[in-house]
Structure 1
Amino acid sequence: MTQTQGSLVRRITDYAHRADPYPIYAELRKTPVAHDEEGPYIVSTYWEIHGLLHDPRLSSDARNLDPRAASELPEEDDDPGLPPSFLRLDPPEHDRLRRLATAPFGPPHTPRRLHEMRGELTRIVGELIDGFEGRDRIDLVDHFSYPFPVTVICRLLGVPREDEPRFHAWADTLAASLDPDPDADAAERGRITRQARTELAAYLSELIEERRRAPGDDMLSALVGGEGPEGRMSRVELLSTAALLLVAGHETTVNLITNGMLTLLRNPDVLARLRKDPHLVVPLVEELLRFDPPVQMLPRRTPLSEIDIAGVTIPQGASVWLLLASGNRDPQRFPDPDRFDPQRRDNQHLGFGSGVHSCFGAPLARLEAQIALTELVRRLDEPRLLEDPPTYRRNAVLRGPRHLPLAFEGLRPSGSPNGFRNRSPNGSRNRSPNGSR
Structure 2
Amino acid sequence: MPLPATTPAPGPFTLGQDVFDDPHRLAAALRQESPVREVTTPRGVTGWLVTRYEDCRAALTDPRLLKDAKAATEALGRQMDSASPYLHAGARLLESHMLNTDPPDHTRLRALVNKAFTPRTVARLRPRIEEITDGLLDAMAELPADSDVDLVKALAQPLPIAVICEMLGIDAADRHLLLEWTRVIVSSAPGADLVRASDGIVAYLDGLIERKRADPADDLMSALAQVSDQGDRLSRDELIAMGVLMVIAGHDTTVNLIGNGVFALLSAPEQLGRLRADPSLLPGAIEELLRYDGPVHVATHRVAAEPLELGGARIPRGALVMVSLLAANRDGERFADPDRLDITRETRGHLAFGHGIHYCLGAPLARTEARIALERLLARFPGLRLGEGAGKPAWHPSLLIHGLVTLPVRLG
If the length of structure 1 is used for normalisation, what is the TM-score? 0.83
1:96 lines up with 2:108 in the alignment: yes
**Structure ID, larger Rg:** 1
Distance across 1 between alignment mates of 2:230 and 2:4: 49
More helix per residue: 2
Query: Where do residues 203-222 of structure 1 align in structure 2 (5 Å cutoff)?
Result: 203-222=204-223
Note the alpha carbon deviations across 1:331-360, whole angstroms, 9 max, x for none.
111111111112212521010111121111
Query: Where do residues 161-180 of structure 1 align in structure 2 (5 Å cutoff)?
Result: 161-176=172-187, 179=188
Q: Secondary structure at the match of 1:313?
A: strand
1:330, CA displacement in angstroms? 0.9
1:57 lines up with 2:57 in the alignment: no
Distance across 2 between alignment mates of 1:131 and 1:307: 54
Which of residues 40, 45, 50 in structure 2 aligns to 1:43?
A: 50
- In structure 2, the partner of 1:29 is 31
1:298, CA displacement in angstroms? 2.3
- In structure 2, the partner of 1:14 is 16
Which of residues 388, 391, 394 in structure 2 aligns to 1:391?
A: 394
Tell me if structure 1 keeps the 8 A contact 2:286–2:367.
yes
- In structure 2, the partner of 1:143 is 154
- In structure 2, the partner of 1:269 is 270
Structure 1 vs Structure 2 CA RMSD:
2.8
Name the amino acid aligned to 2:59.
Answer: L
- In structure 2, the partner of 1:126 is 134
Tell me if structure 1 keeps the 8 A contact 2:282–2:371.
yes
Note the alpha carbon deviations across 1:261-313, whole angstroms, 9 max, x for none.
00110111222222233221111111111110111112532111122223322
1:62, CA displacement in angstroms? 4.2
- In structure 2, the partner of 1:307 is 308
Distance 1:61 1:127, change over 3 A: same
Number of equivalenced pairs: 394
Distance across 2 between alignment mates of 1:144 and 1:10: 40
Distance across 1 between alignment mates of 2:175 and 2:134: 20
Tell me if structure 1 keeps the 8 A contact 2:75–2:319.
no
Distance 1:405 1:83, change over 3 A: closer
Distance across 1 between alignment mates of 2:14 and 2:132: 37
Note the alpha carbon deviations across 1:36-90, whole angstroms, 9 max, x for none.
4994222110011101101111012243256477536852474486562221222
- In structure 1, the partner of 2:241 is 240
Tell me if structure 2 keeps the 8 A contact 1:82–1:198.
no
1:231, CA displacement in angstroms? 5.7
Deviates more, 1:224-233 or 1:116-125: 224-233
Name the amino acid aligned to 1:100.
Answer: L
Query: Where do residues 353-372 of structure 1 align in structure 2 (5 Å cutoff)?
Result: 353-372=354-373
Deviates more, 1:29-38 or 1:86-95: 29-38
Distance across 2 between alignment mates of 1:393 and 1:68: 23
Distance across 1 between alignment mates of 2:39 and 2:13: 12
Q: What's the % identity of the aligned pairs?
A: 35
Q: Secondary structure at the match of 2:296?
A: coil
Distance across 2 between alignment mates of 1:17 and 1:92: 35
Name the amino acid aligned to 1:54.
Answer: T
1:314, CA displacement in angstroms? 1.2
Distance across 2 between alignment mates of 1:279 and 1:231: 47
Distance across 2 between alignment mates of 1:4 and 1:93: 43
Tell me if structure 1 keeps the 8 A contact 2:117–2:364.
no
